[in-house]
Structure 1
Amino acid sequence: MRNFFTLLFFLCSALVLNAQPYNNPKGRLTGKVIDASTKQPVDYATVSIFKDGGASPINGVVTDPKGVFVITNLNPGEYSISIDFIGYQKKIVDHLTIGAATPNIELGTISIAPIQNQLKSVEIVSKAPVVENKIDKMVYNVTNDLTSQGGSAADVLQKVPQVTVDIDGNVQLQGNSNIRFLINGKPSSIFGASLADALQSIPASQIKNIEVITSPGAKYDANGTGGIINIVLKDSKIEGVNGNVNLSAGTRRENANLNLNVREGNFGVNAFFGGGEQINSTTLNTNNSLSYSQTRDTTTKLLQKGTNSFTRGGFQSGISFNWDITKKDALTASFGYNYFANHNHGLTNQESTEFDIPNNNTISDIFSLRNSESRFSGRYLDYSLNYKKTFAKEGQELDVLFNSSYGNNKSYSFQKQNYLNGGYPTSGTQSDNPGTDHETDISIDYTQPVTKTFTIETGAKAVLENINNSVVTDTLLNGAFVPNANQTYGFNYNRKVYSYYLSTTFSLFNNFINGKAGLRDEYTSTSDNFPGANIPGYNTLAPSAVLSHKIDESQSFKLSYSYRIQRPDYGDLNPFYNISDPHNISVGNPNLKPEIGHNYEFGYNKSFNQGANIYIGAFYRYNTNDIQTLTTHYDAKDINGTTYSDVYLTQRYNIGTETTDGVSLFASLPVTKALNLRTNIMFGDRITTNPGFSTVSGYVSRINLNATYDFGNNLIGEVFGNYNSSQRTIQGTRPAFAFYNLAVRKQLWNKKASIGLTATDPFTKYINQTTTTSGANFTQTSLRQVPFRSFGITLSYKFGKLEFKKEKDKDDNNNDAPAPENSSGK
């Protein structure tokens, strides 16, 4: 597979070289756009190029986050360019001559002046594409996602290319679930205890975009073999007071959130509050298990059938302060407080039948009723302080970040079994499991441009994490719960990661190849008080590289590699036995080692003049020390002094290797001015090799289709359908998942307000989820019927006004400085 990617890259490069030799005679225009007042780069400004004297542009680009633009493939002749962005006066630069003597023109820094008057209303005609493919990441812009309105982050992720979300909110990126989640580029303990609950607590209306980084560079932490998903929340840096309110109600979920932005001069405040609740729903469960004794002379059949009621809710809140101390020094402080909780209650009828195979008779047939309950709650406090300094040299930056996150989790579980025959006494347990999670990150990053085509980045980081947990278990004895000393304990887990990286950004062969390459060194030190566990420190060298070639302004290739690790998380390590179902018990493994991943990707992106866009990517992943879940059957299992019969014990282990290769496709097609189609397709093959098991090869696919239609009069409709195939594991299969959404949105009051209606699977009450698991002496088949159908209504309102005021420049001592001579403001 590696040879295939290498051959594919060089073949494509050879074709391009044949079509476009290095000595390209065509011309090139470059420049950088800055704000005339603040001297800060203006990103996403439109740069249009005209034949001198022409009325229609012949080409155009937008500036990148550093304000830089590049226009290539220009024939000899005279040109002019216009630079335009909302809230700024248009800038014209003319009489630009491309010829043999001047094939490349560098315009340097171009200042554009803010419009001085206050705008009563602003209508943005153009908008960012739903999906943007950048050199090191893919960005999904959420603003115009209708079917996710009123939903959560988990609903938005179902739309993101290369991402798969199952019915329970479990996320995979290119088929890998070991993903590093960030909020606004920073870690949070909100993801530590329950990822599904955390994603459900973030309203979709609060999200600006989602960044998917499948091959992170050296600047990013090496943790997460699947890659990184960064959830970027909405904020505003526009002058004035403005904000929005979103409310949604439905049969399955309710949400509300408020955003408030205030900015005056060089100081701004952003505040938000958002929360939601998944309304109580009841899932139907049927579990059939068949096991054999070690001697194969008896068999036990366990039938469990019942209902499970589930609800969850939570909120996010935060405030950030941004202070531009000088034009080169900025300070940002942020605080956040988050909460989420869930409640689960089940009632299960059970029949356990033991059969004597040689004598062909029934040994026992026991009926019982199990009553179970679980509760979880988590409170999380995040705060950070960020200082950023820019220098006189373009691109030279210093960034210092302190980020800390506190999590306080509490879980409770209860189960009681009443035997309806056989004379067995009622049994049961209840457990309290409080814990804390504290993580502090301190990092410093420095960027130094060496030449116009070569930049060095370097930095260091310390990650300090401390997890404390205690378990108090009571056992039912003679009709009363009494303390069980054998299942009551506490543990402490400390992990420190110290890292340093060196990275370069470069251009080769007159910008024929652009790339990033770097090396990150991480040392991990772990201490714990797990009985019998010994986790030695280890050092990780994680190289990464990405190369891209821009054929023209509309199409490009990229090839990337990254070395990743997956450190076991809290849930993987926790040695607490979850006995909410005495027949199906799970436990963590404190002796897990980190998983090692090698990620390769080759991608091609093409944009068309009519607005269509296509991205095709091939990926290859190879993991060693692969962390997998294994289920083992025991006729009887002693757990800290208590014996349980007919037990299926699930635990995670480092087992063998896993290889995943596949192809992902994203395409956007504006069929007409009103109708737009989008699709995300991913398919591949996963091969798992484990000592003691046969090699397992499992095909997996994910397909979705999105259609948006503009009916006019500010009325838009959308249809979204999604299908995730079933997936083979080393012991069985995971279920397929399919659903569809319908949505309409009407904008009102000069687009300040909107009302939307949504429906999910309106004609199907349940989604059936069938899972199979098998081992040397057992087979299990589980059917869950999950109520997924829902209807909802969403209301949103934007308030306040936008102001584009010319600020006085500040010198390095924050004193008023005279406006620059080339400023056209009055």
Structure 2
Amino acid sequence: MRYFFIILILAALNSNAQTAGDKGKITGKVTDSGTRQPVDYATVSLFKQGSTSPFNGISTDPKGDFIIGSVPAGDYRLTIDFLGYKRYTAEHVIVTDGGTMALGIILLQPVQNQLKGVEIVAKAPVIENRIDKMVYNAQNDLTAQSGAAIDVLKKVPQVTVDIDGNVELQGNANIRFLINGKPSSIFGASLADALQAIPGSQIKSIEVITSPGAKYDAAGTGGIINIILKDNKVQGINGSVNLTAATRQENGSFNLNARKGNFGVNAFFSGNAQLNTTVLNTNNRTSTGSNGDVTRLFQQGSADTKRSGYQSGLNFNWSITPKDELTASVGFDHFGNHSNGITSQQQTLKDFTSGDILSDLISLRNSDSRFSAYSTDLSLSYKKNFKKEGQELDFLVTTSNSKNTANYLQTQDYLNDPRETTGIRGNNPGNDRETNISIDYTHPITKTFTIEGGAKAVIEDLKNTTVTDTLLGGNYVNNADQSYTFNYKRNIYAAYLSTSSSLFNKFLDVKLGLRNEYTTTSTDFSGVTIPGYNTLAPSAVISHKIGGTQSIKLSYSYRIERPDYGEINPFYNISDPNNISTGNPNLKPEKSNSFELGYNRSFNSGANFYIGSFYRHNTDDIQQFAARYDELDINGKEYTNVLLTQRANLGIQASLGGNIFISVPVTSKLNLRSNMFLVQRTNKAPGIDSIKALQYRVNLNASYQFAGNFMAEAFGNYNSSTRTLQGNRPKFFFYTMAVRKQFWDKKASIGLVANNAFSRYINQESVTRGPGFNQSTIRQLPFRSFGITLSYKFGKLEFSKEKEKEGHEENGNLPAESAGR
């Protein structure tokens, strides 16, 4: 399959799409006259002379470019509209047989009036379906603003989030997370905690890329989720404050933007805290020993959990010239959690033949665990635009350093046995440093054929220390057998080439790519040797537009999933000696071939409909696996009746699924959105019965705009239960209701939000089974909360025309305003 796409790419490099027939086309690029930034999704309309209704049109792409094809020869009038800008009109646009009318760079001028501190931004739809990604505009969704990033993700099409914050994309948990298109070590230690630390009010949009092209890293068999934080490049000084106070979760964010001429600064700080939450747990495990004796372990208790985090950043942007831009940023992030609880335990051993009770041990376990991570992110990027439209050079350096600490403490008192109290504590500090250096170049060969290429180096260094102490005679004594260091280095060297072209008179848009990555890994952990390996990752996207309202897309991508920090760390978490977890440094990368077919249609009423299907085939599939031991030796210490959980490469997983998204403006005030996701997975692993598991997700969002800037919104989501290799994952349902009132010329707002208002707990019932054991678990998680949200925008927005003519009169070129007239 991969070599087939190599042949396609080589063929594309020798092709040059031609415009057939006697029809012509019109091209151009739309930019802001003050900031020189592209204006995407501006409406371009084409009129016959004397007509008041357009007969053809299109929207600009994210780079501000547009191409109107299949235009008969003639004399036309062209208009460009976008909210907050004056209409641009070009009279007497002459199109010849088979010719191209190039309008060049078109400058849109902002509406010149006093803006009274109100930010002029075109309100994009909540969901946008583009050729290579789906975009969820969180800032336009009322209920998304009061929670954290994990709550926002629950509303994104094709994304599934369980009650513990585990994220899946199209049913796959192996996702590459980015912030503003860049990697961050904040995701390396604890993804769920990191997503809890980003307030929803700080998120501008979330991009879902299920079939990434060759320009993206090959990591992430499920695809890529890119979290775009809010920023502002408009002239002047302005900012915003957002606060949420609630019974379960609190967050706040502050943004300040300052831009004068070609230099801008953005500063932000955001924080999030989950207040003390008490989770009730019941665990019942029955296991059969090697001699046939039956052991029943019953555990019942509660745990109090707190979680908090913050993000801060400072970004600098310098437009050195109209064609040269330098951007630098620094960010400081922190998140952590603390859990402590008490559990009553009864372990009963029965004789296999007589059924007599051989022992009945009752104990009380106290446990305490803490985790914290501090991360620093630095980046520097330079972008060069050349005279030729679309020709670009990008250079980016990012470095991210995260210091993580995980520790636990547990003691066990025996209530009906004379043995002394036992206990153990562990401390696991670590450091994760990752540096990315990349260069990307885009070169348009013709108006319809473009080549992209680039190279990248990723240097990752993980350092980890484990110190374990055992309680002996009332004192903790270092256990040398369970104290060690673990250093892990991984370097990835990549290069890619991709082509984009329009074929058959723009009947098809085709993008083909090939990426090569070579990975070297070294570790000082005893018994672990990981050889270097090469990955050849092809990708392809073929799309066809039907008029200006419909599109069909077919894509293919080859992806891998390298094991992450938590999966390879051999640290044993023994906070519960009967349920121990550890990493597996011998994990191999998971490999995936993915196919996707999608259809999208938009309607004049504002409605939107998307239906898509996918098929994914994974080998060396990484899955969590639990094994039961009568006795387990961990570095010289024996533990009895243990369930050991870790990740392993377990055979093959095939997934077939589909997604339907519908958005309907029922009236001018009422809007309904619904997303339905369905996937069937088949797992085959040596020594384990193959399984077929069906999983689905359905949600519904309703919003209503009342008079007086008053708005209400409700959102409900249901995730079905699904089978796993050794049991099932539980179902869950949650709902959110919110109202908001805007005032002071929409500069300020106040809102009320409620989550699961009519039920105190979400009950989670799951089963895990394997050779010799069967375990059922019930967790009761308090999810109900009530809160109030406040937001305020301040400052004035100014637009400057100082640079309006810069860069457009060089070499005798006419200003864009004169082009085509």
The whole-number CA distance in structure 2 between the counterparts of 1:25 and 1:427 is 87
Is the CA contact (8 Å cut-off) linking 1:87 and 1:804 kept in structure 2? no
1:695 alignment partner, SS class: strand
The number of equivalent residue pairs is 802
Asked whether 1:242 is paired with 2:241, we answer no
1:664 aligns with 2:659: yes
2:796 pairs with 1:782: no
Q: Which residue of 2 aligns with 1:205?
A: 201
| 1:655 aligned partner, one-letter code | L
The Cα offsets for residues 114-162 of structure 1, whole Å up to 9 and x where unpaired, read as 5666543557595211111111111100112111222100000001010
Distance across 1 between alignment mates of 2:254 and 2:814: 39
The one-letter code sitting in structure 2 at the alignment partner of 1:232 is I
Aligned to 2:403: 408
Contact in 1 for aligned 2:20/2:504 (Cα 8 Å): no
Query: CA contact under 8 A between 1:429 and 1:473: conserved in structure 2?
Result: yes
**Quick one: distance in 1 between partners of 2:757 and 2:83?**
41
Contact preservation (8 Å) 1:118, 1:805: no
In structure 1, the residue matched to 2:799 is 804
**In the TM superposition, what are the counterparts of 1:485-564 in structure 2 within 5 Å?**
485-564=480-559
Distance 2:815 2:140 in 1: 41
Say if 1:97 and 1:184 are closer, same or farther in 2 by CA, change over 3 A. Answer: same
From 130, 134, 153, the equivalent of 2:130 is 134
User: In structure 2, what is the Cα distance between the partners aligned to 1:178 and 1:308?
Assistant: 29
| Distance in 2 separating the partners of 1:150 and 1:612 | 26
- The change in CA–CA distance for 1:43 and 1:81 in structure 2 (over 3 A counts) is same
Q: Is the 1:327–1:810 contact (alpha carbons within 8 Å) kept by the matching residues of 2?
A: no
Gaps of 5+ in 2: 6-18
Mapped partners of 1:377, 1:121: distance in 2: 39
1:59-70 matched pairs, under 5 angstroms: 60-70=57-67
Deviation at 1:237, TM superposition (A): 0.7
Q: 2:42 aligns with which of 45, 50, 66?
A: 45
CA contact (8 A) 2:84 2:121 kept: no
* Matched residue, 2:88: 91
Asked if residue 193 in structure 1 is aligned to residue 205 in structure 2, the reply is: no
2:706 corresponds to 1:711: yes
Q: How far apart are the structure 2 equivalents of 1:26 and 1:710?
A: 45
- Within the candidate set 354, 359, 368, 1:364 is matched to 359
Q: Distance in 1 between matches of 2:288 and 2:108?
A: 78
Of 276, 280, 283, 2:276 maps to 280
Q: What's the offset of the Cα at 1:70? A: 3.1
Q: In 2, Cα distance between the equivalents of 1:594 and 1:44?
A: 39
1:91-490 superposed matches below 5 A:
91-96=88-93, 101=97, 105-113=101-109, 119-120=115-116, 127-296=123-292, 298-490=293-485
Alignment of 1:595-614 (within 5 A): 595-614=590-609
SS in 1 for 2:79: strand
Cα offset, 1:507, TM superposition: 1.1
Measure, in 1, the Cα distance between the counterparts of 2:362 and 2:22. Answer: 85
- How does 1:11-26 map onto structure 2 within 5 Å? none
Question: Using a 3 Å threshold, how does the CA distance of structure 1 residues 493 and 91 change in structure 2: closer, same or farther?
Answer: same
Cα distance change of structure 1 residues 677 and 822 upon mapping to structure 2, 3 Å threshold: closer
Q: Shift of residue 71 of structure 1?
A: 3.6
Q: Is the CA contact (8 Å cut-off) linking 1:631 and 1:775 kept in structure 2?
A: yes
Are the counterparts in 2 of residues 352 and 365 from structure 1 also a CA contact under 8 Å?
yes
* Worse overlay, 88-97 or 644-653: 88-97
Q: What per-residue deviation string (whole Å, max 9, x for no partner) do you get for residues 206-250 of structure 1?
A: 011000011111100001111100000000110111110001100
- How far residue 65 of structure 1 moved from its aligned partner, in angstroms, is 2.2
Once the two structures are overlaid, the 10-residue window that deviates more, 461-470 or 418-427, is: 418-427
Secondary structure at 1:318 match in 2:
strand
- Compared CA separation, residues 537 and 702, structure 1 to 2 (3 A): same
Helix, strand or coil: the match of 1:199? helix
- How high is the TM-score relative to the length of structure 1? 0.94
1:730 paired to 2:737: no
Question: 1:96: how far off?
Answer: 3.9
Secondary structure of the structure 2 residue equivalent to 1:578: coil
Aligned to 2:30: 33
Provide Cα deviations, 1:538-571, integer angstroms capped at 9, x if missing partner: 1110111111011111001111111101111111
The letter for the 2-side match of 1:110 is: I
Question: Any conservation in 1 of the 2:654–2:682 contact (CA below 8 Å)?
Answer: yes
Query: What is the letter of the counterpart of residue 221 of structure 1?
Result: D
CA RMSD of the aligned region, Å? 2.3
Distance 2:763 2:100 in 1: 62
1:113 is displaced (CA, Å) by: 4.2
The one of 625, 629, 636 equivalent to 1:634 is 629
Which deviates more, 645-654 or 314-323? 645-654
Deviations 1:730-769 (A, max 9, x none): 1100111111111111111110001111101101000000
Aligned residue identity for 1:254: E
Is the Cα–Cα contact under 8 Å of residues 36 and 820 in structure 1 kept in the other structure?
no
The answer to whether the 8 Å contact 1:36/1:823 transfers is no
Q: SS at the partner of 2:689?
A: coil
**Number of the residue aligned with 1:19:** none
Q: In structure 2, how many angstroms separate the alpha carbons of the residues matched to 1:183 and 1:482?
A: 43
Aligned-residue identity in percent: 60
Which residue in the other structure is 1:14 paired with? none
One-letter identity of the residue aligned with 1:562: S
Q: Deviations over 1:675-732 (max 9, x none)?
A: 1110111101000000111111000101101011111211111110001111111110
Change in Cα spacing, 1:439 to 1:121, as seen in structure 2 (3 Å) is closer
Q: CA 1:815/1:527 → structure 2, altered by over 3 Å: closer, same or farther? A: farther
Q: Secondary structure at the match of 1:43?
A: coil
Pair 1:27–1:392, CA change in 2 (3 A):
closer
Partner residue, 1:10: none
Listed one character per residue, the Cα deviations across residues 168-206 of structure 1 (whole Å, up to 9, x for unaligned) are 111000010010000000000000000011001001010
- Classify the secondary structure of the residue corresponding to 2:646: strand
Cα distance in 1 for partners of 2:509, 2:61 equals 15
Assess, with a 3 A threshold, how the Cα gap between structure 1 residues 321 and 625 changes in structure 2: closer, same or farther. same
Q: Is the 8 A contact 1:808 1:816 kept in 2?
A: no
Structure 2 residue 639 is the aligned partner of structure 1 residue 681: no
Q: Distance in 1 between matches of 2:35 and 2:327?
A: 17
Give the Cα–Cα distance (whole angstroms) in 1 for the partners of residues 37 and 744 of structure 2: 34
Kindly indicate whether residue 566 of structure 2 is the aligned counterpart of residue 584 of structure 1.
Answer: no
Q: Amino acid of the residue matched to residue 764 of structure 2?
A: Q
CA distance in 2, matches of 1:719, 1:46: 31
1:55, distance to aligned residue in structure 2 (A):
4.0
Does the alignment pair 1:745 with 2:740? Answer: yes
| Alpha-carbon distance between aligned partners in 1 of 2:21 and 2:608, rounded to the nearest angstrom | 26
> 3-state DSSP class of the match of 2:746?
coil
| Paired letter, 2:277 | S
Query: How far apart are residue 597 of structure 1 and its match?
Result: 0.8
Q: Supply the AA of the counterpart residue of 2:167.
A: V
| Distance verdict in 2 for CA 1:675–1:586, change over 3 Å | same
Is the contact made by 2:69 and 2:506 (CA closer than 8 Å) also made in structure 1?
no
Distance 1:295 1:756, change over 3 A: same
